[in-house]
Amino acid sequence: MLSLVKIKNIALIDEIQLEFAKGLNLLTGETGSGKSIIVDSLGALTGERISSDLIKEGTSNAQIEGLFNVPATADLHEIFYESGIDLSDGEEMDVIVRRELAATGKNRIFVNNQLVTQNFLKKIGAFLVDIHGQGEQATLFNPSNHLEILDKYAGLQKERESVSAKYRELANVQREIENLREDEAQKLQLLDVLQFQVDEIKRANLQAGEDEALEEEKRRLNNVEKLSALSEDAYALLYDCAKKSCASN
């Protein structure tokens, strides 16, 4: 179910926000009032291609955003899980889809505030809303819906819900296992670092009370240039004196 849609800078629309209630909702208006733009915007939220030409003249970007409340089916959970997007457990869940358009042609798609591809949006689009055009019903031709239609005809809703619940439990366990494996890998990496540090300490052959000797060595090295210059001066004086003494003899 579509609960909310926001449209900004699309064609003739500056900015509009529409909230939908359960049951029948009607949009009426004269020709050219923007009804088709709203329908096209909904199509964009289900993965249809959208051109930057729809950006309102005089603006550089546009945005379409929709809030959907949909049944938490096993198929939908699997699509989100494969893409690494978390979903809350429950019979129903909220899915927020946002498309951002730029006049430069750089368009971005977000689902639950995570950046996704158009292909991903198209996969989940069939679960979000059905858009009926004149003389067409695309859902009936989508093979992914045939199994659901057959299960409804056979009255297998309870079995489907049971399998969906078990699948969600399995997905949660798989995520926990992956997290544990990542934690184990991090522990091994930390162990390697600690072992390297221990080996470095052993090679340093540290001795008790060597701090004072190291400080003294540090002070001496800090004055090495000055000591070297003084030594050269002393040597020059001694050599000069020795030369003068030899000359007087």
Per-domain boundaries in the chain: 2-136, 156-205
pLDDT mean across residues, the chain: 82
- Give 247's pLDDT tier (boundaries 50, 70, 90): low
Q: Is the dihedral of CA 68, 71, 77, 78 positive or negative?
A: negative
244 pLDDT band, cuts 50/70/90, is: low
Confidence band of 138 (pLDDT split at 50, 70, 90): low
- Under a CB-based contact definition with an 8 Å cutoff, are residues 10 and 41 in contact? yes
More confident residue, 195 or 82: 195
Q: What is the pLDDT of residue 6?
A: 92
- The encoded tokens of residue 129 equal 């809303």
Cβ neighbors of 163 (< 8 A, separation 6 or more) are 74
**How much is the pLDDT for 65?**
93
Alpha helices in the chain (DSSP H): 35-45, 74-82, 118-128, 146-154, 157-204, 210-222, 224-248
Q: Please determine, for residue 196, whether its predicted confidence score (pLDDT) is greater than 80.
A: yes
Compute CA distances 206 → 116, 202, 211, 216, whole Å.
55, 8, 10, 16
Residue 135 pLDDT exceeds 60 = no
Q: Helix (H, G, I), strand (E, B), or coil: what is residue 54?
A: helix
Q: Which of 92, 73, 69, 70 is nearest to 81 (CA)?
A: 73
- Among residues 6, 116, 125, 118, the alpha carbon closest in space to that of 70 is found at 125
144-171 pLDDT tens trace: 678 878 888 888 888 888 888 899 899 8
Query: Can you tell me which residue has the tokens 């199509």?
Result: 43
pLDDT band for position 132 (50/70/90)?
low
**Is 80 exceeded by the pLDDT of residue 227?**
no
> Does the structure show a pLDDT above 70 at 76?
yes
Do the bridges between strand 114-116 and strand 108-111 make them parallel or antiparallel, or are there none, so unpaired? antiparallel
Residue 213: the pLDDT is 79
Q: How much is the average pLDDT of 94-110?
A: 88
* H-assigned helices in 4-73: 35-45
Terminal C-alpha separation, the chain: 117
Q: Is 240 exposed, middle or buried (0-12, 13-18, 19+ CB in 10 A)?
A: exposed
Per-residue model confidence (pLDDT) at position 236:
80
The structure's pTM equals 0.52
Contact 42, 57 (CB under 8 A): no
For a pLDDT cut of 90, what percent of the chain falls above it? 7
3-state class of 141 per DSSP? helix
pLDDT band for position 41 (cuts 50, 70, 90): confident
Options 3.20.20.70, 3.40.50.360, 3.30.70.360, 3.40.50.300; CATH of 2-136:
3.40.50.300
Take residue 49 and report the two structure tokens written for it: 């291609």
Give the pLDDT of residue 137.
57
pLDDT at position 62: 92
Q: Is pLDDT above 90 for 64?
A: yes
